[in-house]
């Protein structure tokens, strides 16, 4: 399959009132079922790029095509039907039950004066059940762990039934075990046909997910390619300003990204 | 395990049962409040008159009772029910759309604006109908100005709107202070102060009937949008990523809530605390989901207002303004509610 879900063409972005371009002539593409890992040093514009792709920010110039359609001409609702966005962290506002929270993912399919149906509620229960979260469905989402809450954000994006799901640093607030559980969930989702974009601080996560990588540099430019092409020792060492090694580890049967020592 | 299953079931059912249960309580309280007072009417007689009037049966009851019930008590009870529901609903909506459990219906300036409108009319010695009209207009105008400020400053975030509310509120309290300063202290100042503290003692049928259609329309819109208020309560970014046109939805909610609050203020003058406290109480009873919270808050607001008005009407020879009691009950009650909800506020 060669269907392109995302075609980002030469976009630039700067925040109003600032001269510095956070993104400068960025081009990217993502195939259906592909995983694109966006890496880059702190403050380089990973989240800005992801927000542009989610339609939350408007690029200053250039175009983003989502499933062949120009994002700038699409309504919030049309965008949300094609692209789900999983924020880095959710700050709870009110004491919603888990199921009611996940149900909010149906918003792009719901009319302004209407509400989700009983079937859609059943859909939420099924998704939660599938993710092994059925037992907390009727709990308050204040009573669950941070790892579980991260899972709910993913469940909500699944309920949205989009083509692409964009994850903003999905592992940033998780412990070591939950980080890797989330990554394996993301990999599984891609194999189910979702196209995935994630931002991460950890190059090893890109290697684990094993598809495409993109690096956002401080000057706002981006290079994209297969992991093997992009995640080289020289480039990573330069991006992060320290000695970084890429090694194939026989025992694990995979390539890993490591630092030699401090 | 057993316990958690029980609570799961309770959680599932809670939402469905709470509304009818609260509604029954409200009906019973309405009947009780129609009967009790300095002039007592028996519940049987009360029901007979009400059903007789509805079906057009020839009177076979005490005319004195009828005059008291239909002319005085029913309008007053209906007014408390409407005002309580309107204030609680708009409070719950504001708290939802601003993702902030500490805002009340008047924080965009509707009550302040209504006070100025009413105070000007009182200063000009206009009729009571005119006072209501200018109060309504003043409330709407104040919120309109508040909503224009973020547009002028080219920043349409929710926090900008809150700050605009503070700006407009500050300006209005000065204007009101000036009006009170130049008002005749014997008559006008007293009237303004009494109006500011709210009362159902001088409720008139015309005011209720002229406000009702707009209030019902605003209520219908808000209840129909109740699920979308959940979405707005996630914050601007998340709501937008879920396909919500945040600014449009938020504006519709603000307009409807403002119409409701301004209408309530027209009937009774400004009444504090109800819009802030009742939605919290509603969340405790019915959960945070706005689909059940909004109707539940309305009913609880009605119950609370009815209770407070009946107490003020019964206590003492001269009637106390309602806000005195809502504040006395509301403030400690709010402290207790915040203690209960400290989890979410942390």
Residue B319 has pLDDT above 90, yes or no: no
pTM greater than the 0.90 cutoff:
yes
Q: Please tell me the distance from the alpha carbon of residue B66 to that of residue B52, in angstroms, as a whole number.
A: 11
The residue in chain A having the minimum alpha-carbon distance to the alpha carbon of residue B224 is A113
Sheet (strand A83-86) strand order: A83-86, A164-167, A195-199, A35-39, A212-216, A222-226
pLDDT at B19: 94
**Number of domains composing chain A:** 1
Query: Inter-chain contact A112–B238, Cβ cutoff 8 Å?
Result: no
pLDDT at B63: 84
Interface ipTM: 0.93
Residue B2 has pLDDT above 50, yes or no: no
Please report residues of A whose CB lies closer than 8 A to that of B13.
none
Query: Inter-chain contact B233–A93, Cβ cutoff 8 Å?
Result: yes
Q: Which two tokens stand for residue A127?
A: 């998704």
Query: Inter-chain contact B234–A90, Cβ cutoff 8 Å?
Result: yes
% of chain B exceeding 70 in pLDDT: 95
pLDDT digits (tens, 9 = 90+) for B171-183: 999 999 999 999 9
- SS3 annotation, chain A: CCCEEEEEEEEEECCCCCCCCCEEEEEEEEECCCEEEEECCCCCCHHHHHHHHCCCCCCCEEEEEECCEEHHHCCHHHHHHHEEEECCCCCCCCCCEHHHHHHHHHHHHCCCCCCCCHHHHHHHHHHHHHCCCHHHCCCECCCCCHHHHHHHHHHHHHHCCCCEEEECCCCCCCCHHHHHHHHHHHHHHHHCCCEEEEECCCHHHHHHHCCEEEEECCCCCEEEEEHHHHCCHHHHHHHHCCCCEEEEECCCCEEEEECCCC
Please report residues of B whose CB lies closer than 8 A to that of A94.
96, 101, 233, 283, 288, 344
A67 occurs within a structural domain: yes
pLDDT at B238: 95
A130 occurs within a structural domain: no
**Residue A145 to chain B, least CA–CA distance (Å):** 14
A156 occurs within a structural domain: no
> Residue A185: which domain range?
4-89+161-231
pLDDT at B60: 82
Query: Inter-chain contact B225–A105, Cβ cutoff 8 Å?
Result: no
> Which has more pLDDT, B320 or A9?
A9
A217 occurs within a structural domain: yes
Closest CA to A217 of A48, A46, A59: A46
**Residue B252 to chain A, least CA–CA distance (Å):** 11
Residue B341 has pLDDT above 90, yes or no: no
A239 occurs within a structural domain: no
In this prediction, residues B165-169 reach a mean pLDDT of: 92
Q: Which two tokens stand for residue B211?
A: 């406000």
Please report residues of A whose CB lies closer than 8 A to that of B228.
107, 112
A259 occurs within a structural domain: no
Please report residues of B whose CB lies closer than 8 A to that of A56.
237, 240-241
In this prediction, residues B19-34 reach a mean pLDDT of: 96
In order of A39, A171, A220, the CA distances from A217 in angstroms are 9, 21, 5
pLDDT digits (tens, 9 = 90+) for B255-278: 999 999 999 999 999 999 999 999
For chain B, domains (ranges, CATH) are 73-345 (1.10.3470.10)
Q: Please tell me the distance from the alpha carbon of residue B164 to that of residue A234, in angstroms, as a whole number.
A: 52
Please report residues of A whose CB lies closer than 8 A to that of B99.
93
Query: Inter-chain contact B225–A90, Cβ cutoff 8 Å?
Result: no
**Residue A184 to chain B, least CA–CA distance (Å):** 24
pLDDT at B148: 92
pLDDT at B137: 94
Residue B7 has pLDDT above 60, yes or no: no
pLDDT at B14: 56
pLDDT at A1: 52
CATH at residue A191: 3.40.50.300
pLDDT at B55: 87
Please report residues of A whose CB lies closer than 8 A to that of B102.
none
Read off the pLDDT band of B104 (50, 70, 90): confident
Spans in chain A with pLDDT lower than 70: 1-2
Q: What are phi and psi of A23, to 5 degrees?
A: -125, 135
pLDDT digits (tens, 9 = 90+) for B202-238: 887 888 998 999 999 999 999 999 999 999 999 999 9
A118 occurs within a structural domain: no
């Amino acid at each position: 399959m060669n269907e392109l879900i995302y075609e980002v063409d030469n976009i630039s972005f700067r925040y109003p009132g600032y001269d510095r371009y956070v993104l400068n002539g960025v081009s990217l593409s993502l195939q259906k079922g592909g995983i694109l890992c966006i890496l880059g040093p702190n403050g380089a514009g990973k989240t800005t790029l992801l927000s542009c792709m989610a339609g939350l920010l408007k690029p200053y110039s250039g175009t983003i095509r989502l499933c062949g359609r120009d994002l700038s001409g699409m309504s919030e609702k049309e965008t949300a039907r094609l692209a789900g966005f999983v924020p880095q962290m959710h700050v709870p506002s009110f004491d919603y039950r888990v199921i009611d929270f996940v149900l909010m993912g149906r918003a792009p399919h719901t009319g302004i004066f209407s509400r989700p149906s009983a079937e859609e509620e059943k859909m939420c229960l099924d998704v939660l059940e599938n993710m092994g979260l059925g037992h907390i469905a009727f709990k308050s989402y204040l009573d669950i762990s941070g790892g579980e809450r991260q899972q709910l954000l993913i469940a909500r994006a699944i309920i949205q039934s989009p083509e692409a799901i964009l994850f903003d640093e999905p592992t940033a607030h998780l412990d070591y075990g939950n980080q890797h559980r989330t990554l394996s969930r993301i990999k599984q989702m891609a194999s189910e046909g979702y196209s995935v974009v994630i931002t991460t601080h950890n190059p090893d996560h890109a290697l684990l997910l094993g598809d495409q990588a993109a690096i956002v540099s401080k000057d706002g430019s981006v290079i994209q390619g297969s992991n093997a092409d992009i995640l080289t020792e020289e480039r990573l060492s330069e991006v992060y300003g320290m000695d970084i090694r890429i090694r194939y580890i026989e025992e694990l049967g995979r390539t890993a990204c490591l630092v030699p020592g401090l | 395990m057993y316990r958690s299953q029980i609570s799961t079931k309770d959680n599932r059912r809670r939402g469905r049962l709470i509304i009818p249960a609260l509604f029954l309580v409200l009906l019973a309280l309405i009947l009780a409040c129609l009967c009790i007072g300095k002039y007592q009417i028996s519940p049987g007689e009360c029901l007979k008159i009400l059903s007789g009037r509805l079906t057009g049966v020839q009177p076979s009851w005490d005319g004195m009772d009828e005059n008291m019930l239909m002319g005085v008590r029913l309008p007053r009870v209906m007014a408390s029910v409407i005002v309580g529901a309107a204030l609680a609903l708009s409070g719950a909506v504001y708290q939802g759309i601003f993702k902030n459990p500490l805002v009340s219906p008047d924080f965009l300036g509707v009550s302040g604006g209504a006070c100025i409108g009413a105070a000007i009319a009182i200063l000009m010695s206009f009729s009571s109908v005119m006072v209501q009209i200018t109060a309504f207009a003043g409330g709407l105008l104040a919120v309109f100005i508040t909503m224009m400020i973020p547009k002028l400053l080219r920043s349409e975030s929710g926090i900008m709107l809150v700050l605009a509310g503070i700006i407009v509120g500050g300006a209005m309290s000065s204007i009101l202070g000036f009006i009170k300063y130049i008002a005749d202290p014997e008559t006008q100042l007293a009237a303004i102060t009494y109006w500011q503290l709210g009362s159902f003692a001088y409720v008139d049928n015309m005011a209720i009937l002229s406000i009702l259609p707009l209030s019902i329309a605003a209520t219908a819109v808000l209840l129909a949008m109740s699920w979308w208020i959940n979405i707005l309560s996630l914050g601007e970014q998340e709501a937008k990523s879920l396909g919500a046109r945040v600014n449009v939805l938020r504006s519709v909610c603000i307009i409807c809530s403002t119409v409701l609050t301004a209408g309530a203020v027209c009937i009774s003058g400004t009444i504090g605390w109800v819009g802030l406290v009742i939605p919290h109480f509603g969340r405790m009873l019915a959960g945070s989901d706005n689909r059940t919270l909004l109707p539940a808050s309305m009913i609880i607001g009605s119950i609370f207002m009815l209770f407070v008005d009946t107490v003020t009407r019964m206590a003492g020879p001269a009637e106390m303004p309602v806000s005195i009691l809502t504040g006395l009950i509301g403030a400690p009650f709010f402290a207790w509610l915040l203690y209960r909800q400290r989890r979410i506020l942390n």
